[in-house]
Amino acid sequence: MQQLYNRRILLGISGGIAAYKSAELVRTLKKAGADVRVVMTRSAMEFITPLTLQALSGHPVHHSLLDPEAEAGMGHIELAKWADLFLIAPASANLIARLSQGMGDDLLTTVFLATDAPICLAPAMNQAMWRDPITQENIAHLKAAHGDHLTLIGPAAGEQACGDTGLGRMSEPDTIVADVANCFETGLLAGVSVVVTAGPTKEAIDPVRYITNHSSGKMGYAIAEAARDAGARVTLISGPVALQAPERMECVRVRSALDMLAACEKTQDHCQIFIATAAVADYRPASQQEHKIKKHSDELSLTLIRNPDILSTMAAAEQPPFTVGFAAETQDVEHYARDKLTRKKLNMIVANDVSDRSIGFHSDDNAVKVFWGEDGRRDFELMNKRRLAVRLIELIAEKYQEEH
Ligand code: CTP
């Protein structure tokens, strides 16, 4: 179940006898490598204790919307943003009714309203309650409102706690976990070779000093993971960052712009999509001192020379890949981004406004505008970089398929 490795799964538990299976669910998700946090409704706590789920998940369990201490730590908005996927299991008839009406009267329902993560819903109730036309209407309403974003898992058929037999039991934890894992595999880029550059480059001045740019690498790593989950064969070419190499892709670590260029050029014979998120230093010292520069004078001049443009080099190849650039702008975002799109002969450019401190660089969130062709444009509102990466890969895959 490698798809769940390092995934952030928020598990919502509502009140029902099936809540006893939630403990096993948390255990199975954790075993698959997921980071799990739990949100419970008040009635869920009648069936299973927060302490059990805290011990299994390794995190405090969230249950109160009106607890100032909890909200100060990780409130409903943070939880909603944190999740890569929101799994609600068991989802009782009452919870489904509240969700379908857009109610936000407890922590679980407010997180549901606030999240833009994909949602999995595993209903659990008596068979007659499941068959009831109002429950069916509520389910249809939720599906219509959320489209592909909502996956219904079960319910399964069989003997029920009340003695009835029929459709309504919560699916088994193994089945739920397998369906959740499938949500991360879209197949949109099945077999396509994708190269992603990420992080900053470091241009050495002497053995202890360097010139660099702000860049945490988070956006590029998230893009590489989203491409992998879409079925691509991914090569991530990364400058120095504090992030771990992601699983199931080739990760090439480099330092300078020249190293990064050399690593990218090596992929030219198979690269089909090239996504440049790296904050490459535009200039490097003309010469690198062999020994540490000493403080001999009050002034020191450095001669810098232009680094090659890696993205333009890839775009200028005889058979160029589908190229996607990133542009960090502080003003006239569309104008400057479109200028780079044309000048660098790119298929697409993703621009963000770095004058806004809440996004970009070291933040976990980002909001971007994407431009392509003569007048193609899509705006993505502020969201978690991992969610944004999934959306960007969907768009890149769509435009790539149109051209091939
Ligand atoms: N890029 C690159 N190699 C470089 C410089 C930039 O591959 N030597 C890529 C970046 O990864 C990014 C895009 O080009 O995808 C950014 O373009 P660039 O013109 O460098 O943007 P800015 O640095 O914002 O340019 P300017 O200073 O002109 O605004």
Q: Tell me the three-class secondary structure of the chain, residue by residue.
A: CHHHCCCEEEEEECCCHHHHHHHHHHHHHHHCCCEEEEEECCHHHHCCCHHHHHHHHCCCCECCCCCHHHHHHHCHHHHHHHCCEEEEEEECHHHHHHHHCCCCCCHHHHHHHHCCCCEEEEECCCHHHHHCHHHHHHHHHHHHHHHHHEEECCCEEEECCCCCEEEEECCCHHHHHHHHHHHCCCCCCCCCEEEEEECECCEEEECCEEECCCCCCHHHHHHHHHHHHCCCEEEEEECCCCCCCCCCCEEEECCCHHHHHHHHHCCCCCCCEEEECCECCCEEECCCCCCCCCCCCCCCCCCEEECCCHHHHHHCCCCCCEEEEEEEECCCHHHHHHHHHHHCCCCEEEEEECCCCCCCCCCCEEEEEEEECCCEEEEEEEEEHHHHHHHHHHHHHHHHHHHC
Atom of ligand 1 nearest to the CA of 311: 7
CB of 252 sitting under 6 A from ligand 1: no
The CATH-assigned architecture of domain 193-289+301-403 is: 3-Layer(aba) Sandwich (3.40)
2-182 and 193-289+301-403 share one fold: yes
Q: Are 180 and 4 spatial neighbours (Cβ–Cβ below 8 Å)?
A: yes
Distance, CA of 110 to CA of 126 (rounded, Å): 26
CB of 328 sitting under 6 A from ligand 1: yes
Q: What is the pTM of this model?
A: 0.80
Q: Hunting for tokens 């880029």 — which residue is that?
A: 189
* 120, 162, 251, 271: the active-site residue: 162
Q: Domain 2-182 class?
A: alpha beta
Ligand 1 pocket, mutate which of 273, 282, 312, 346 (most atoms under 8 A from CB): 282
> At what angle are helices 385-403 and 218-229 packed, to 10 degrees?
50
Distance, CA of 74 to CA of 117 (rounded, Å): 17
pLDDT of residue 361: 62
CB of 326 sitting under 6 A from ligand 1: yes
Ligand 1 pocket, mutate which of 259, 268, 280, 371 (most atoms under 8 A from CB): 280
Positions in the chain whose pLDDT score sits under 50:
none
pLDDT of residue 14: 98
Residue nearest to atom 21 of ligand 1 (CA): 327
Q: Are 391 and 380 spatial neighbours (Cβ–Cβ below 8 Å)?
A: yes
Tell me how far the alpha carbon of residue 172 lies from the centroid of ligand 1, in angstroms.
Answer: 49
120: annotated active-site residue: no
- Neighbour tally for 312: CB within 10 Å: 16
Tell me how far the alpha carbon of residue 312 lies from the centroid of ligand 1, in angstroms.
Answer: 9
Per-position b or e across 262-285, b if 16+ CB within 10 A of its CB: ebbeebbeebbbbbbbbbbbeebb
Ligand 1 pocket, mutate which of 256, 277, 311 (most atoms under 8 A from CB): 311
pLDDT of residue 100: 98
Tell me how far the alpha carbon of residue 267 lies from the centroid of ligand 1, in angstroms.
Answer: 20
Report CA dihedral (117, 388, 217, 256) to the nearest 10 degrees: 150
Atom of ligand 1 nearest to the CA of 257: 8
CB of 371 sitting under 6 A from ligand 1: no
Tell me how far the alpha carbon of residue 279 lies from the centroid of ligand 1, in angstroms.
Answer: 7
pLDDT of residue 356: 75
Q: Hunting for tokens 């419970």 — which residue is that?
A: 40
Atom of ligand 1 nearest to the CA of 308: 8
pLDDT of residue 1: 62
Q: Are 369 and 362 spatial neighbours (Cβ–Cβ below 8 Å)?
A: no
Domain map (residue ranges) of the chain: 2-182, 193-289+301-403
